Amino acid sequence: MVDARGLRCPLPVIRLARAARDAVPGAVLTVVSTDPAAQHDVPAWARLRGHTVVESRREPDGALAISVRVGSAG
């Protein structure tokens, strides 16, 4: 899990990208962000990198949690 609460664009995506670099294909990573831009930025980044968004949900604190399955592009 990548906790990016309180970080503004582009930091949630940068932190998620770092985690994805070290992840094996098929791993699911979740980024939790309070930045409204993450709702659009994370799926766009995933699409460009060959990853797949598998879930998006609101946390009890209002943060957005987006889970991404890492593709072979890593």
Q: Is the dihedral of CA 43, 46, 47, 51 positive or negative?
A: negative
Bridge partners of 69, per DSSP, are 28, 52
Catalytic annotation, residues: 9
Q: How far apart are CA 72 and CA 74, in angstroms?
A: 5
